[in-house]
């Protein structure tokens, strides 16, 4: 980031810092460390010790867990303005998952000490963090339900529905997901790439699903 003014302006666009006044924003701008990562970088590994939390200024990351036999489950994909790595700072336990960049990223790192001090001084930020943790827990509960009770096709539909938030030009009846590969879809749904390829074909044949490059188009009206 450039000068001080420019830096605080950029921070204002991040939801977590939206409630800060000018003085607090300038103070936090001083504490945040800019770190750039190319696509495919490991930010940290599951089980390592954690000293920093990160806010995504630009780019995209995936939060993952590995199975014993080396298959990857994507817990979540996070983008601009979202944050991760707060859990280890709060409970001092090892990192609960690995984080890798899926696009080139500029991250803002905040140390444990500065993060805790920020939460103590700003109840609005603390509430935002709690709300986000609550959202993730709901999401995880939904995933558990899906994995226990739903077949792959249902899980795939649900996942595409959840990720499709973009309007499609000239197609008011559809909304689109961000670009996503079959492998990523498989790792999100918790199945093999081969199975996803088959399910995607079935959903297209039945007319529910459309594709534009790597973006998936699903009906706006529920099913």
Q: Which residues bind ligand CMP (CB under 6 A)?
A: 50, 63, 75-76, 84-88, 95-97, 99, 136, 140
Report in angstroms how near the CB of residue 184 gets to ligand CMP at its nearest. Answer: 15
The least CB distance from residue 98 to ligand CMP, in Å, is: 7
State the Cα–Cα distance between residues 98 and 223, nearest whole angstrom. Answer: 34
Distances in whole angstroms, Cα of residue 21 to Cα of each of 8, 15, 109, 119: 10, 13, 20, 15
Q: How far is the CB of 153 from ligand CMP (least distance, A)?
A: 23
175 φ/ψ angles, rounded to the nearest 5 degrees = -125, 155
DSSP letter string, 10-28 = HHHTSGGGTT--HHHHHHH
**Minimum gap (Å) between residue 155 Cβ and ligand CMP:** 16
Distance CA 164, CA 161 (A): 5
Q: Between 75 and 118, name the residue whose CB sits nearer to ligand CMP.
A: 75
**Residue closer to ligand CMP (CB basis): 76 or 153:** 76
Query: With respect to ligand CMP, which residue has the nearer C-beta, 9 or 106?
Result: 106
Nearer to ligand CMP, 148 or 207 (CB): 148
């Amino acid at each position: 980031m450039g000068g001080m003014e420019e830096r605080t302006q950029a921070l204002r666009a991040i939801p977590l810092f939206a409630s800060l006044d000018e003085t607090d924003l300038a103070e936090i701008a001083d504490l945040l460390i800019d770190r750039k990562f190319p696509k495919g970088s490991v930010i940290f590994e599951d089980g390592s010790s954690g000293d920093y939390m990160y806010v995504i200024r630009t780019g995209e990351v995936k939060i993952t867990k590995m199975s014993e036999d080396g298959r990857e489950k994507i817990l979540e994909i996070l983008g601009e303005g979202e944050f991760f790595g707060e859990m280890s700072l709060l409970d001092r336990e090892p990192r609960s998952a690995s984080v890798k960049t899926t696009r080139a990223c500029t991250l803002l790192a905040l140390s444990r000490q500065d993060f805790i001090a920020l939460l103590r001084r700003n109840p609005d930020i603390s509430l935002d963090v709690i709300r986000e943790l609550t959202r993730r827990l709901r999401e995880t509960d939904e995933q558990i339900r899906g994995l226990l009770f739903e077949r792959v096709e249902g899980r795939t539909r649900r996942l595409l529905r959840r990720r499709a938030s973009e309007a499609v030009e000239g197609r008011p009846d559809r909304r689109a997901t961000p670009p996503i590969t079959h492998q990523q879809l498989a790792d999100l749904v918790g199945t093999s790439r081969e199975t996803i390829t088959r399910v995607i074909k079935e959903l297209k044949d039945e007319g529910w699903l459309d594709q534009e490059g790597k973006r998936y188009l699903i009906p706006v009206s529920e099913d």
